[in-house]
Amino acid sequence: MSHLAAVMATALLAVSATALGATPLERGRTLAEQGDAARGIVACAGCHRADGGGDEALGAARLAGLAPAYLATQVERFRAGQRSHPVMSPWAERLEPADITAVSAYYGALAPASNARAPSDVDAAAGRALAETGDWPGRDLPACVRCHGPGGVGAGTVFPPLAGQPYSYLLAQLQAWAAGRRHGEPMALMGAVAGRLDADEQRALAAYFATRPLAVADPADDLPDPSPAPATASVSTPATTVAATDAVVPEHLGAVPAGRAEAASRFTPPGRDALPEGPLGEMVRLGAHLFRHTNTDPRSAPHVGNDQTCAGCHLDNGRRADASPMWAAWVAYPAYRGKNQRVDTMAERIQGCFRYSMNAQDSVSGQVPETNGLVLDALQSYIYWLATGAPTGDTAMSGRGYPRLQPPAEGFDRDRGAVLYAEHCALCHGDGGEGLLVDGEVVFPPLWGPRSYNWGAGMHRVDTAAAFIAANMPLLDTVRFTPQEAWDVAAYINGHERPQDPRFDGSVERTAARFHASPFDLYGEPLGVDGAVLGQGTTAH
């Protein structure tokens, strides 16, 4: 058993069990507040402070309220040499598994606290754009909050809070990742991210998150910021070269992916600076908000019967090329859709998203939003605005939808997909496909089960999901699936139960014949060896 595995094993007992005559929390508190002089272990609070809120001058991280599993993992990283610090590294060496469990549990149980502040000579607001919307078109940089949770409050046990971490700590970590002095994180994510930031951006981001509230606050808004590259209503200029930093950027992590650079002549939707004034601007703003918070906003939530949002599939809040960007969709509607066998307007198309991808049948209202209502009008206003300057009727804009894959020469294989999923997808979407929510906000959408898209959604098709995955998953491009791998992992994901197709007529067999007659559709297909068939739907939740 590895050291980390031993820590995790003891963690399972941490709350109820006692060891060495004290509960783990008591043991953790002792270590945190007093250390263990006999073993040369200094008190954590000496640097991280009694409240666990970190120390700006020392560059010591805030620990209070962080997930114990995350904290324990970090101690292991120091032990493994993946992180390095003059005090932490030797200290970590001296800890027993039970010590790590205890002190992690202790800090995790503390009320969130922060002693962070931004230096007066760094403009924290300047970090907002990258933090909240990233620079996906220019540098394949998702927003920080895309993984670290709304406002950077952290998400799950893998993506720690950035909000309220000392500026000095955050900046040091970004520099360490960019220079290759910190590593070991899954899929080399942070090395890639930090390597694509210049020194000013690193400082601005650190200052921004240092000053954010520790809990999910009302989101300011969800409008895209002007991106660092010109983001006007026009075809964008070629991606700017990432500015060199003093840090050594590992070549395999810092480069802008070639495929994206080639696509730099693509349409660029407008940024916040181009927001129209007055009521239309307010509707655009509301639409941008609903797009991301579809399942929680009280106006749209009554029509959402699962844990999905528009932005869950339409990445970068509907801006991302090759992830069904809304600007390309706007100019291509009304359009005939074989699925409905009718010409749909944009309003009807969005209602389709609510019906299937957001499973309105299990929502509070049981209905899609009404056509002339606020929700659909706001979403249309936002989408319209995203398309500013796009030519009406252009059904072939570069980046529309996602690039279709050739049918897989070897078919697809759910078992191969399961292995890939565990390695590359479960980190965010969960071992059981359950996704990850923070205070109800979707950070990573569920991929199957009762809170996922239903059997009528486009994404339930293996070919659709494979195309989306090949172009977009994992979120950061440090790992890219081959087409065959995308087929396999899509088959694994869509080979699970999910909410019933709203067109279900009481018979899986009939519904399969009527709506799912495709070799890329697993509805009605055998689930395994026991005769079970996919398409039973999920029970209410």
Residues engaged in binding a copy of itself (CB under 8 A): 233, 278-280, 283, 327, 330-331, 333-336, 341-345, 347-348, 351, 371-372, 376-378, 380-381, 384-385, 387-394
- Is the Cβ of residue 297 or residue 441 nearer to a copy of itself in the bound state? 297
The first and second tokens of residue 118, run together, are 């931004």
Cβ at position 366, least distance to a copy of itself in Å: 18
Rounded CA gap, 394 and 415, in Å? 40
Cβ at position 289, least distance to a copy of itself in Å: 15
- Is the Cβ of residue 391 or residue 531 nearer to a copy of itself in the bound state? 391
Quick one: DSSP state of residue 438?
E
Stated as kind and residue range, the H or E segment containing 436 is strand 436-438
In order of 30, 34, 97, 108, the CA distances from 25 in angstroms are 9, 14, 14, 10
- Is the Cβ of residue 208 or residue 330 nearer to a copy of itself in the bound state? 330
The first and second tokens of residue 181, run together, are 């002095």
Asked if residue 150 has a cis previous peptide bond (ω within 30° of 0), the answer is: no
Quick one: DSSP state of residue 121?
T
Cβ at position 280, least distance to a copy of itself in Å: 5
Asked if residue 334 has a cis previous peptide bond (ω within 30° of 0), the answer is: yes
CB 478 within 8 A of CB 258: no
Cβ at position 464, least distance to a copy of itself in Å: 21
179 Cβ contact list (under 8 Å, min separation 6): 247, 248, 249
Rounded CA gap, 331 and 349, in Å? 13
CB 77 within 8 A of CB 184: yes
- Is the Cβ of residue 81 or residue 334 nearer to a copy of itself in the bound state? 334
Cβ at position 342, least distance to a copy of itself in Å: 7
Residue 37 phi, psi dihedral angles, 5° rounding: -55, -35
- Is the Cβ of residue 7 or residue 368 nearer to a copy of itself in the bound state? 368
- Is the Cβ of residue 333 or residue 448 nearer to a copy of itself in the bound state? 333
Rounded CA gap, 423 and 223, in Å? 33
- Is the Cβ of residue 120 or residue 341 nearer to a copy of itself in the bound state? 341
Would you give the end-to-end CA distance of the chain in angstroms? 38
Rounded CA gap, 205 and 312, in Å? 24
Cβ at position 349, least distance to a copy of itself in Å: 11
- Least Cα distance to 382 among 264, 292, 265 occurs for 292
For helices 462-472 and 483-494, angle between their N-to-C axes, nearest 10 degrees: 130
Quick one: DSSP state of residue 533?
B
Cβ at position 368, least distance to a copy of itself in Å: 10
Cβ at position 358, least distance to a copy of itself in Å: 18
Cβ at position 377, least distance to a copy of itself in Å: 6
Q: Give the DSSP letter string of 331-351.
A: TT-SEEETTTTEEEPHHHHHH
Cβ at position 310, least distance to a copy of itself in Å: 17
- Is the Cβ of residue 336 or residue 518 nearer to a copy of itself in the bound state? 336
Cβ at position 230, least distance to a copy of itself in Å: 17
Rounded CA gap, 457 and 362, in Å? 14
55 DSSP β-pair partners: 60
Amino acid at 251: E
442 DSSP β-pair partners: 437
- Is the Cβ of residue 384 or residue 421 nearer to a copy of itself in the bound state? 384
- Is the Cβ of residue 379 or residue 491 nearer to a copy of itself in the bound state? 379
- Is the Cβ of residue 18 or residue 395 nearer to a copy of itself in the bound state? 395
- Least Cα distance to 289 among 364, 194, 178, 374 occurs for 374
Cβ at position 8, least distance to a copy of itself in Å: 52
Residue 444 phi, psi dihedral angles, 5° rounding: -125, 120
Rounded CA gap, 509 and 536, in Å? 10
- Is the Cβ of residue 342 or residue 404 nearer to a copy of itself in the bound state? 342
- Is the Cβ of residue 26 or residue 344 nearer to a copy of itself in the bound state? 344
Exposure string of 412-446, with b = 16+ CB inside 10 Å and e = fewer, is bbbebbbebbeebbbbbbbeebbbbbbeebbbbbb
Cβ at position 343, least distance to a copy of itself in Å: 4
